[in-house]
A and B are shown apart, each in its own frame.
Chain A
């Protein structure tokens, strides 16, 4: 079976990504479910690249014209979802940073004015 150079390059990239997932799982940085999800995603990418006919099957199942189209549609949806998740995560980090900066600022104020008690107001 002959493969195109682009197929080999993508599979090489996917392999590196999958090894990265396993390493992070072994170091305890990734939970089991997340690691399984990422590995399934990379396996699906490898299958779609090495055996493009598999995407045709999925396309027929979903009622989309071509296999390439179904990959494109799913990629766009997936990227939007990841972008949204990233935004929410950034928002959460922003709040944590603000809480820390605020606590430090109010702590300084309380130290400058000993009569002020850093009461519930200084906590988030």
Chain B
């Protein structure tokens, strides 16, 4: 089975090499360089990644949208998304892919909140609020709507139409999994919190902005 890891990356020269190497053991790493101004692209290529490049920075949602389409073009049968900031543990990949390999699920969300040990309390609250907004706006009830570690069968990935450009994409994907009638399984994953990965997450005000954009997205659908 051809498995492709979509890794959206923007200015991740500190972590991209290690992330690509760790993922390579399980899948073909496909890095979407989202207009980085640093050496992200160069280091990812040197580590053995395939690459698609945005000429200018367009945001997480845009990078994921491009990555999913590129993975389909490359003939992926299973696609998973994986953060480039080193937040995820590659050792969790087999468990996240298992429900799709065993045809028990069309989509899997790697949930940090099913095993929240070590998660800073402020991040815990922010993620719960993200879940609440996803439920209120889209009717999708998941334990970690903001997780960047998700897997899809080819058919499920083909059904996704990413319209948002920014961080709000996580809720959009959760909503589409539900709307498309995909069988969803949530698998507990470990989150690796470092000062770096925390600095790359959403701040409180970015979270509010994301909420506002989600609302507009909901109104316009």
- A interface residues with partner B (beta carbon < 8 Å): 87-88, 91, 94-95, 97-98, 101-102, 104-106, 108-110, 113, 116-119, 121-122
CB of A119 within 8 A of CB of B216, answer no
Q: How far is the CB of B96 from chain A (nearest CB, A)?
A: 23
The number of chain B residues with a CB under 8 A from chain A is 20
B212 nearest in chain A by CB position: A87
CB of A106 within 8 A of CB of B72, answer no
A95-B165, A106-B73, A109-B73 given; A101·B54 CB < 8 A: yes
Q: How many Cβ-Cβ contacts under 8 Å join chain A to chain B?
A: 59
Q: Does B104 contact A (CB under 8 A)?
A: no
Interface class of chain A by DSSP: helix
Q: Which of B9-17, B58-66, B136-144, B190-198 touches A?
A: B58-66
The one of A87, A91, A108, A122 in contact with B69, judged by C-beta atoms closer than 8 angstroms, is: A122
The one of B55, B62, B69, B220 in contact with A104, judged by C-beta atoms closer than 8 angstroms, is: B55
Query: What would be 30 A-B contacts, judged by CB atoms less than 8 Å apart?
Result: A88-B216, A94-B165, A95-B163, A98-B58, A98-B59, A98-B165, A101-B54, A101-B66, A102-B54, A102-B58, A102-B62, A102-B65, A105-B32, A105-B55, A105-B66, A105-B70, A106-B52, A106-B69, A106-B73, A108-B52, A108-B53, A109-B52, A109-B73, A113-B74, A116-B73, A117-B73, A119-B73, A121-B69, A121-B73, A122-B69
Q: How far is the CB of A104 from chain B (nearest CB, A)?
A: 6
Q: How far is the CB of A124 from chain B (nearest CB, A)?
A: 9
CB of A106 within 8 A of CB of B53, answer no
Q: A101-B62, A113-B74 are in contact. List 11 more A-B contacts (CB 8 A).
A: A91-B216, A95-B163, A97-B58, A101-B54, A101-B56, A101-B58, A102-B58, A108-B53, A109-B73, A117-B73, A121-B73
